[in-house]
Amino acid sequence: MAAKTAAVDFARVATALNLPQTTLQSLSAFRARNAAAKASLSALKSQKQDIDFAHYRAVLKKNVQIVDRLEKVWNDFKPAEYDVSAQIKAIEAFESKAVSSATEASQKN
């Protein structure tokens, strides 16, 4: 799944739409969670992911079978895949509520 990004000037949006404080707080919390998730993803991507099993075989000359078993487990590992459609629906519902709240707020002024 490809990531989509868009530059949003939140300060300009807030002033242009004259959003209520609760909406601004929700936007701020969302931005903080987004920044934390991006930082976490970046840290995970930068970690070294390969293992030099030949090195361990050379070091553990009498226990090569252990290294062989670990290499098999490592190579057979498949990450779990999760159905995130429920989370996506929740996000879309939140987005639509946020848009309607922003529209209502802009119409009040």
For residue 36, being part of any structural domain is answered with yes
pLDDT at 98: 86
Domain that holds residue 79: 10-108
pLDDT of 30 above 80: yes
For residue 98, being part of any structural domain is answered with yes
pLDDT at 11: 76
For residue 45, being part of any structural domain is answered with yes
For residue 3, being part of any structural domain is answered with no
For residue 4, being part of any structural domain is answered with no
DSSP code at position 61: G
Neighbours of 104 (CB within 10 A): 11
For residue 28, being part of any structural domain is answered with yes
pTM of the model: 0.43
**Which tokens in the block code for residue 8?**
């949003």
pLDDT of 106 above 80: no
Span between the terminal Cα atoms of the chain, in Å: 40
pLDDT at 90: 92
pLDDT at 2: 53
The average confidence (pLDDT) of the chain is: 85
For residue 21, being part of any structural domain is answered with yes
Residue pLDDT, tens place only, 31-84: 899 899 999 999 988 887 788 999 999 999 999 999 999 999 999 999 888 899
The count of structural domains within the chain is: 1
